[in-house]
Amino acid sequence: MCSRPCPNLPKHSDSLDITMSSYQHCYRESDFVLRHLIDFDGLCVENDFEGVDLDLANSLIDEAARFGAEVLAPLNVVGDREGARMGEGGVVETPGFAAAYRQFAEGGWQSLKVDERHGGQGLPDVLNAAVSEIWHAANLSLALCPMLTEGAIEALAEHGDESLCARYLPRLSSGEWTGTMNLTEPDAGSDLAAIKTRAVPEGDAYRISGQKIFITWGDHRMTDNIVHLVLARLPDAPPGVKGISLFVVPKYRLDAHGEPAEANGVRCLSLEHKLGIHGSPTCVMAFDDAWGELVGEPHRGLAYMFTMMNRERQVVGLQGLAIAERAYQQARLYAMERLQGTRRDGTRVAIVAHPDVRRMLMTMKSGIEAMRALVLETAAEADRARGANEGARRAHHQARLELFTPIVKGWITEFAQELTSLAIQVHGGMGFVEETGVAQHYRDARILTIYEGTTGIQALDLVSRKLLADEGRALGVLFDEMEETLGVLRQTEDASLLVLVAPFADGLAAARRACDWVLCEAPDDRRLAGAVSVELLMLLGYLCGGWMQVRSALAAQRAIEDGEGDALFLDAKLKTARFYCEHVLARTQAALTSVLAGSTSLMALDAEQF
């Protein structure tokens, strides 16, 4: 995927860390999407991003890529081998992480998309997403820290009052402080109605008491303060999710000048020992009569937190793209260098020549390109919704953003499991050996389908809130746009494009049939939505990926005809799109079959028969 040359695979185990630590951002891939699919310059003009254009975007991406390759990527394997640990005063982060984070903050990277009113640079969300791919591909464990801070900034900026924003947002935006999200409790996982953490009023503030689990980067020593966003219940709270409020609880209380002063009643009790992302501390947090401030109005905390949650879900989908890209780069390099088999003339053959290895690499390459385009298209919808001047246009883009969010989170992270596994398979037995480093990507990716809401939760949200709740209108608009793309495709005379027509048409027809069937049958089967939702999400994910690939092929062909860009790179776009449509998009048919099977066989066994 990356156009720049990669180093040769080391020939002896002592040098394997060179490959394990190597990462190069795919400059031309992100530029292609921003230029041809997003129309980045047009987006900036339409949404009043004054002085921002593709040249500026690419210069920022180039600088981020350098930082990611030189500073963050070499620490990725260090985080895996020497993960965060508990010390006497709390969490001790991986060696090298603190210095790298300070460089990240000093570079202004935390503030890219933050509103200028809060100390940010006010750049487009889609540019921030393109840059964020680099952080998560280079070092997923470390990148989780600024990711959570970004979500906390959004939640406070959207729902905090002027005083609260003035005290916390500039320091969060600069990266001087980091932020966290505290939802889950031992007895309240996805069921947030069961939250027991309490908030007792004390003057203008509150005292927070309770325990939270699975808190990413809940404690560390990299910054002077950590700003926790905590869900808790007031004494007069109604039962259920309607009784949850949101509070800011800093690790250190602020003095009269807004500086960290006395320690608050917040501490990390222990760290989870995890399958992957070892460099990211996953904390059990105790709040012991901790001082906190209410965000917004009482009892509306869950809605406020979902501002942060939905943002994080989009970024977790981006993480799936990023870790798949990192695994692909390593698999491609290995396939180019690993000799296996002999030609008739006696010369050895690199495994990249073998058809089955080609199948795996093409699945990875085509899937990653589809993922990247969908991630950036989703981020662009956030920019369009925010910048829309009239209600109907804003509503259209907001609906599309909300529709894409569970697909990005659910489909991309599930697909990333397959692609990172394929990277191991390309390596053969060496992929199963930790020394080569490719297994880390597989282990790190495994959490992505779980945190910020499991795939089942994303799928149920898609079916219940995005399909059934509006009777399929938002999906219908999306399908109509896909139909327009199909019409353009059918009008072409180019053989490399015409071959895409049938598989894309079949995928679109499968999606329409599946959604129509669910709309018809769900009112009479209360278990149907839960039974078919994941298969429907995957069907729509593969279809959206196919739409991105078809649009990419059309754009690549136009560029070839106009004599613009690298003809070899553009030709690869056409071939990759064909592979995706013929081999990956075909999965929509299997998903349709499963959806139409309904809930009968799925619910047939009694519980004791399992």
Give catalytic residues, as residue numbers: 452
Q: What is the CA radius of gyration of the chain?
A: 24
In the chain, what is the greatest distance between 2 CA atoms, to the nearest angstrom?
86
Pairing of strands 348-350, 245-250: unpaired
Show contacts of 198-203: CB within 8 Å, 24+ apart.
198/232, 198/233, 198/235, 199/232, 199/233, 199/234, 199/245, 199/247, 199/292, 199/294, 200/234, 200/235, 201/234, 201/235, 202/291
CA distance 210 to 196: 7
Q: Which residue in 521, 406, 525, 531 sits closest to 457, CA to CA?
A: 406
The type of residue at 174 is: S
Given a contact cutoff of 8 angstroms between Cβ atoms, the answer to whether 270 and 255 are in contact is: no
Q: Which residues contact 205 (CB under 8 A, 6 or more apart)?
A: 291, 292, 293
Q: Residue 91: beta bridge partners?
A: 86
Alpha carbon distances (Å) from 326 to 16, 26, 76:
16, 10, 11
Q: Which residues contact 330 (CB under 8 A, 6 or more apart)?
A: 19, 20, 22, 423, 437, 438, 441
CA distance 472 to 512: 10
CA distance 530 to 461: 10
3-state secondary structure 574-603: HHHHHHHHHHHCCHHHHHHHHHHCCCCCCC
DSSP 26: -
Q: Using alpha carbons only, give the angle 285, 175, 167 rounded to the nearest 5 degrees.
A: 80
The total number of residues shown for the chain amounts to 610
Given a contact cutoff of 8 angstroms between Cβ atoms, the answer to whether 104 and 222 are in contact is: no
